[in-house]
């Protein structure tokens, strides 16, 4: 890949991020968010940029044990089920002071990345299947769908000969279906789940632009998949992950990722970008 191609993708991503964060602040404000929520949204955007740069600079210098990374993601979900914040039977958030972080948003980019990189390690796929099961118990259909799509995208690209990854995809898909047929009792918040309806009612132009930007969130990952064959599986896995979260908002009562209020999705987008847009001065390490 030419250095100019990577630079072009990074410039496009930086522009998309700047416009998305600016429109997000305007949209959540117009949709009725309190001033404190707008401040949190802005701080999360600044932190997400820092995380993207940090992860992109240092992540690939470390030889990760991918099954340990995947297991750590599962452990975070277990801790959330045990000690997280519960709302209407759903237990998806960890409280950090006054802020509640959606755990799946933070861990699933790492889990999807590890699965896409870990086909040489037979321990990764079964643990990923356990992560999919834990998402069902969190009553998080959007994340269940997103993770199932991520696993399917990576497996279809790599086409491993072992049966375990394919079985993991089937199990994740069935669990996602089970999550979607279960009624969601959480009420919609106008500037979170109902962002576009509220924004369109107040300002149709702003609502339309916000919708276009949300649908564009997977674009940087698709660009990396096209330009960098050695990172195609992980880039497409992350593109599929974000497509699932977007579909969750469009077809269900789930938050509008990045554009709607919520620190965790913004941080997750920054982490995801750092994972695929990292520096290339050294070759990607092989999975241990």
Dump pLDDT digits (tens) for 197-234.
999 999 999 999 999 999 999 999 999 999 988 899 99
Q: Is residue 179 part of a domain?
A: yes
**Is residue 234 within 8 Å of 117, Cβ to Cβ?**
yes
* 75-104-242 Cα angle (round to 5): 140
Pure H helices in 138-203:
141-158, 163-181, 195-202
pTM: 0.93
Residue 283 confidence class, pLDDT cut points 50, 70, 90: very low
The continuous run of DSSP H or E covering 259 comes out as none
Q: Is the pLDDT assigned to residue 177 strictly greater than 50?
A: yes
Q: Is residue 246 part of a domain?
A: yes
Average pLDDT over residues 158-174: 94
**φ and ψ at residue 114, rounded to 5 degrees:** -65, -40
Strands (E), 48-181: 85-87, 90-96, 99-102
Average pLDDT over residues 69-78: 95
Report the domain count for the chain.
Answer: 1
How many CB atoms neighbour CB 7 within 10 A?
A: 10
The per-residue pLDDT for 147 is 98
Q: Is residue 284 part of a domain?
A: no
Domain of 59 in residue numbering reads as: 3-276
How far is the C-alpha of 25 from the C-alpha of 2, rounded, in Å? 35
Residue 4 confidence class, pLDDT cut points 50, 70, 90: low
Residue from 36, 80, 46, 109 nearest 274 by CA = 109
How far is the C-alpha of 281 from the C-alpha of 220, rounded, in Å? 20
How far is the C-alpha of 12 from the C-alpha of 4, rounded, in Å? 12
Average pLDDT over residues 238-253: 95
Q: Is residue 285 part of a domain?
A: no
Residue 223 neighbours by CB under 8 Å, 6+ apart: 9, 12, 13
Supply the mean pLDDT for the chain: 90
Q: Is residue 166 part of a domain?
A: yes
> What does the radius of gyration of the chain's CA atoms come to, in whole angstroms?
18
How far is the C-alpha of 11 from the C-alpha of 254, rounded, in Å? 30
Q: Is residue 148 part of a domain?
A: yes
Residue 92 confidence class, pLDDT cut points 50, 70, 90: confident
**φ and ψ at residue 208, rounded to 5 degrees:** -65, -45
Cα distances from 212 to residues 19, 228, 256, in angstroms, run: 11, 26, 12
Q: Is residue 187 part of a domain?
A: yes
How far is the C-alpha of 123 from the C-alpha of 70, rounded, in Å? 9
The per-residue pLDDT for 43 is 94
The string of pLDDT tens digits covering residues 61-72 is 666 789 999 999
For residues 280 and 39, which has the higher predicted lDDT (pLDDT)?
A: 39
Residue 284 confidence class, pLDDT cut points 50, 70, 90: very low
How far is the C-alpha of 114 from the C-alpha of 3, rounded, in Å? 25
Q: Is residue 27 part of a domain?
A: yes
Structure tokens at 78: 């277990």
The per-residue pLDDT for 1 is 52
How far is the C-alpha of 41 from the C-alpha of 57, rounded, in Å? 24
């Amino acid at each position: 890949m030419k250095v100019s191609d990577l630079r072009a993708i990074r410039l496009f991503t930086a522009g998309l991020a700047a416009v998305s964060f600016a429109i997000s602040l305007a949209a959540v404000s117009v949709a009725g968010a309190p001033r404190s929520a707008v401040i949190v949204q802005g701080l999360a955007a600044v932190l997400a940029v820092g995380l993207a740069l940090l992860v992109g600079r240092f992540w690939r210098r470390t030889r990760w044990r991918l099954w340990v990374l995947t297991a750590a993601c599962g452990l975070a979900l277990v801790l959330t089920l045990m000690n997280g914040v519960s709302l209407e039977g759903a237990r998806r958030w960890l409280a950090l002071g006054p802020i509640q972080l959606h755990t799946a948003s933070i861990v699933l980019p790492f889990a999807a990345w590890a699965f896409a990189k870990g086909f040489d390690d037979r321990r990764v796929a079964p643990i990923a299947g356990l992560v999919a099961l834990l998402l069902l118990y969190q009553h998080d259909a959007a994340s269940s769908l997103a993770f199932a799509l991520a696993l399917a995208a990576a497996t279809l690209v790599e086409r491993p000969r072992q049966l375990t990854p394919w079985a993991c995809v089937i199990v994740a898909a069935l669990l996602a279906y089970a999550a979607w047929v279960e009624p969601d009792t959480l009420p919609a918040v106008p500037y979170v789940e109902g962002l576009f309806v509220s924004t369109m009612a107040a300002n149709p132009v702003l609502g339309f632009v916000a919708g276009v930007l949300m649908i564009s969130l997977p674009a940087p990952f698709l660009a990396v998949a096209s330009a960098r064959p050695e990172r195609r599986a992980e880039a497409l896995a992350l593109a599929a992950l974000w497509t699932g979260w977007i579909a969750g908002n469009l077809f269900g009562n789930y938050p509008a990722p990045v554009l709607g209020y919520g620190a965790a999705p913004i941080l997750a987008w920054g982490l995801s970008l750092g994972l695929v847009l990292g520096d290339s001065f050294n070759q990607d390490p092989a999975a241990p």
